[in-house]
Amino acid sequence: MRNSQIEVRPIAGSIGAEIHGVDVSQNLDDRTIRDIRQALLDHCVVFFRNQTLDAERHKAFSRRFGKLFIHPNYKGTQADPEVIQITREPGDKKIVGEEWHADTTMVSEPPMGAILYAIEVPPYGGDTLFANQYQAYEALSDGMKKMLGGLKAFHSDRKVAGPAAAMNAQRSTKVREDADWRETVSTHPVVATHPETGRKLLYVNHSYTNCFEGMTEVESKPLLDFLLDHGHRPEFTCRFRWETGSIAFWDNRVCKHLAIHDAGPFRRIMRRTQICGTRVV
Ligand code: SIN
């Protein structure tokens, strides 16, 4: 498929495409940025290969798609709050993003996207999975869609940050665990409408969604567990094999993703920016 300058090659039936013919470290013209954005809307996650990006160019490319988001749970743990270095060392018991999730959905306006750049990757292992939540929604029965319409869910960061989550003893990438940390909670609709495409999608995830509004966690669990697992049925997913210099740019409004914790004896170092989003409707 030929666009103005870029070549977009899907990598799976439902989600994910590689973009070729572009060096994202350059000051790209508006048409190329528009075409990358369109590819993102069409494929939910796009990938680039063989890129060379220092942190400043990484931020500059990200800013072409919106303001940079500062992650509240990494404040003070990283040298530059606008980028998060995600490091996995051999022996780490936990890694960032090892459950199916959309990023940072405990805030009222979750990021619209994230741009992850591979600095050092294992020779094998450490892939990332992505799942298309339009398709997850569309595959539900009419009865289930009707039941979910109007339902809202609580999203909290208590499982991924703060003293009780106790992440820092188990992994190299540190989050806030100080005594001043406070849980952030927001409610979002269970069926959301993508602000650019207007398509409906399923909006719950393992890391952040605790229960439905107006129900207890115990009451919510059976339906929530079903929706969480349904959201990553294999036919909604793609799997990305990283190389040094690869980039994944995902639309956080419609993708869930999971970092596979199988890098064994190898180090894996990534750098991530996040781009501000809007209220989920
Ligand atoms: C993330 O969840 O943002 C990290 C994904 C990865 O490291 O592959």
Question: Which residue's CA is minimally distant from atom 5 of ligand 1?
Answer: 259
In this prediction, residue 3 carries a pLDDT of 52
Q: Give strand pairing partners of 211.
A: 154
d(CA 171, CA 224): 28
In this prediction, residue 277 carries a pLDDT of 98
Helix (H) / strand (E) element for 63: namely helix 55-63
d(CA 121, CA 106): 29
How many A from CA of 249 to the centre of ligand 1?
11
Residues of the chain with pLDDT under 70: 1-4
Q: What's the angle, vertex CA 145, arms to CA 144 and CA 149, rounded to 5?
A: 115
Question: Which residue's CA is minimally distant from atom 2 of ligand 1?
Answer: 97
Q: Which atom of ligand 1 is nearest to the CA of 86?
A: 7
Annotation marks residue 257 as catalytic? yes
In this prediction, residue 5 carries a pLDDT of 81
d(CA 35, CA 67): 19
In this prediction, residue 1 carries a pLDDT of 46
The alpha carbon of 156 is separated from its chain's Cα centroid by a whole number of angstroms, namely 16
Helix (H) / strand (E) element for 142: namely helix 142-148
How many A from CA of 270 to the centre of ligand 1?
8
Helix (H) / strand (E) element for 136: namely helix 133-138
Question: Which residue's CA is minimally distant from atom 4 of ligand 1?
Answer: 97
CA-closest candidate to residue 117, choices 221, 236, 237, 268: 268
Q: Which entry of 171, 257, 261, 268 is annotated as an active-site residue?
A: 257
In this prediction, residue 158 carries a pLDDT of 97
Q: Are 134 and 173 in contact (CB under 8 A)?
A: no
Question: Which residue's CA is minimally distant from atom 1 of ligand 1?
Answer: 97
Q: Which entry of 88, 101, 171, 206 is annotated as an active-site residue?
A: 101
Q: Which residues, 6+ apart, have CB-to-CB distance to 280 below 8 Å? A: 105, 109, 110, 188, 189, 192, 203, 253
DSSP secondary structure letters along 170-210: T-SS----STT----EEEEESEEE-TTT--EEE---TTTEE
Annotation marks residue 188 as catalytic? no
Q: Which atom of ligand 1 is nearest to the CA of 97?
A: 2
In this prediction, residue 240 carries a pLDDT of 98
Domains and CATH numbers, the chain: 7-275 (3.60.130.10)
In this prediction, residue 90 carries a pLDDT of 97
